[in-house]
Amino acid sequence: MRMKAKYLQFVVLACLAGCFVLTGCYDAREVEAFLVKSRAPVSGVVYRVYPPDVISISSRHVPEINEVTQQVRPDGKINVPLIGEVYVAGKTPKEIEDLLTKAAEDYYEEVDATVDMVAYNSQKFYVFGQVGRPGPMQWTGRDTFLDVLSKAQPTPLAWPERIIVVRGAEPQDGGSATTQPSGQYLIMGVHPPDKDKPRYKITINLMAMVQSGDLSNNILLKPNDIIYVQPNPFASVALAVEKIFSPIRAVSDGLGDYRELVRQARWIDDGQPREDAGRERATLIAR
């Protein structure tokens, strides 16, 4: 028994050491790609309109387009009274104002147009891993790392000292085709880094922010950023064990249900059904 206990302890320690090695050490240089000028009020990204954003249009001199609200269609267009269809996808609100003003000049001598954002639906970033609220979140232009983690709520299985943030290369929407897939891509499904289109990754210590107030890495997020809250070393071992044994347990549970169905059928064939036999059988079949 002692030998087994020591062997199990060795295996657990080896797994924990492996987790630390695989996740690597902190690299202070990683953060440089994510930082903006000190105390920047916004992330510095120009907001461009895409489906399914919602915009409002107002005008003092063109009544047809005054107080008009439009949602950008999947084809990237809006349908404006008097002017008709206008392609707005990928344009800033100011560029849309210029388009509408130029089109309205065909009908009025004095024209103007003001475009405001009503709903920011298209720009998102993503949270995965050991959190209570995973999935996409709407990007507002002022979303910090601490804002997002306070909403996502890391679970007890999380490793808050080593949360990963990934920022991909362009294009970040729609994917991109490659004529010659590399061996790495054929095996892993991941393209090797491209020096002309760099990808960035940073590991952030959330507990440093919470316990010591060190907000130096409280980065401003950009659209399509990915936050991965990885499991702590103990949780990684437990999840790996669960992954190994869950198929075995599923088969065992299935055999148990099958045996119970056979038992119920025999009771009925023998003319000795229990009062709840039919109900139990229906429950088992529904499973």
What's this model's pTM, rounded to 2 decimal places?
0.68
- pLDDT tens digits, one per residue of 99-109: 999 999 999 99
- pLDDT tens digits, one per residue of 259-284: 666 666 665 556 555 555 555 555 54
Q: In this prediction, what percent of the chain has a pLDDT beyond 90?
A: 47
Per CATH, 26-43+123-231 and 54-119 having the same topology is answered no
CATH architecture of 54-119: 2-Layer Sandwich (3.30)
Cα(132)–Cα(128) distance, rounded to whole angstroms? 10
Cα(259)–Cα(265) distance, rounded to whole angstroms? 10
Cα(155)–Cα(145) distance, rounded to whole angstroms? 17
* Residue 285: pLDDT band with limits 50, 70, 90: very low
- Domain 26-43+123-231 sits in which CATH superfamily? Outer membrane lipoprotein wza domain like (3.10.560.10)
Cα(219)–Cα(22) distance, rounded to whole angstroms? 24
- pLDDT tens digits, one per residue of 224-238: 999 999 999 988 888
Q: Over 90: is that where the pLDDT of 20 sits? A: no
Which amino acid is present at 183? G
* Residue 21: pLDDT band with limits 50, 70, 90: very low
Q: Over 60: is that where the pLDDT of 44 sits? A: yes
Give the per-residue pLDDT at 170. 76
Work out the average pLDDT over 18-38.
63
- pLDDT tens digits, one per residue of 163-188: 999 998 777 777 777 667 778 878 88
Task: Give domain limits for the chain.
Answer: 26-43+123-231, 54-119, 236-286
**Phi and psi dihedrals of 26, rounded to 5?**
-65, 140
CB 251 within 8 A of CB 178: no
Give the per-residue pLDDT at 182. 78
